[in-house]
Amino acid sequence: MVAAMDQLARLSPKSAQSSLFNIYQNTGESHELRCAAVFQLMKTNPSAQMLQRMAAFTEQDMSKQVNSAVKSAIESAAELKEPKLQELAENANAAKKMLSPKTFGLQYSKNYLSSYAMKEENLGYIKDIKTIGSEDSILPKGIQYSLKSVLGGLEMEKDRFSAMTASVSELLGLLENQFSTEESRRQEKNAKQSSNNNDSHSTKMIAQMFNIQREQAEQVEAQIFATIFGGNRLFAFDNHTVENIPRSEYLLILSMNNDRFTFIQATLFTQTQVYLQN
């Protein structure tokens, strides 16, 4: 919901600032929600006082994800060159020195703002890249990219792309299980069984001893939004969508070497060569 407040932040920034700032300061909220609030706050042209409060709070906040988002947003905003964003750049410069000196790696949430201005043509570009860090992977669980052109003070969005998933680790595991070969799955299963049989203190054995009921795995969900040929496209999928990908059809690789077609059977991912008789 917070990530979809773009229009409110643009059309009524003052009314959105209060709610977004309260969400950001609420340390009881998840880092995903707080980072999304930070991203939207940067679109409301926050005052120097508000940015200074956010910068000073990075010394107290225990969330590395949120602190990384705030620090990258303020530092990149301070370098903006687009004339329309000079007030934001000056406010960010006033708050920059109050940021925590800690360094946060790329696995944490980020907000990179950059701009390029061509004064002779009264034209400029604004690029905005956001990532929300994941707790179970070094890859981000959410990413958004947008490119806007500014012509005579009028902003026009040129490109936009965003992708988000509930769990990066579960999504990668689902894709690996779906597209791995039968042989590799069999070897992995045998290795796990052998490990469990040899280890009397395995998690499975401990769960059986204490009669622990395992929780059902949550459904894997993800979505991709992109601007394609001037139109907006949204692709949403879950584990059922991935599992329903046809695996029994044959894929034809368009390569002919010595009058030979190479087929790949999607079910087993094993190559079957078919020779053509002259």
Compute φ and ψ for 111, nearest 5 degrees.
-140, 105
Compute the average pLDDT of residues 170-181: 78
Residue 217: count of CB within 10 angstroms of its CB: 11
Percent of the chain beyond pLDDT 90?
A: 38
| Band (207; pLDDT cuts 50, 70, 90) | low
Q: How far apart are CA 112 and CA 129, in angstroms?
A: 5
Q: pTM for this structure?
A: 0.74
Q: What is the tens place of the pLDDT at every residue in 93-116?
A: 999 999 999 999 999 999 999 998
Compute φ and ψ for 161, nearest 5 degrees.
-145, 135
The more confidently predicted of residues 2 and 53 is 53
Residue 212: both structure tokens together: 């622990």
| Band (1; pLDDT cuts 50, 70, 90) | low
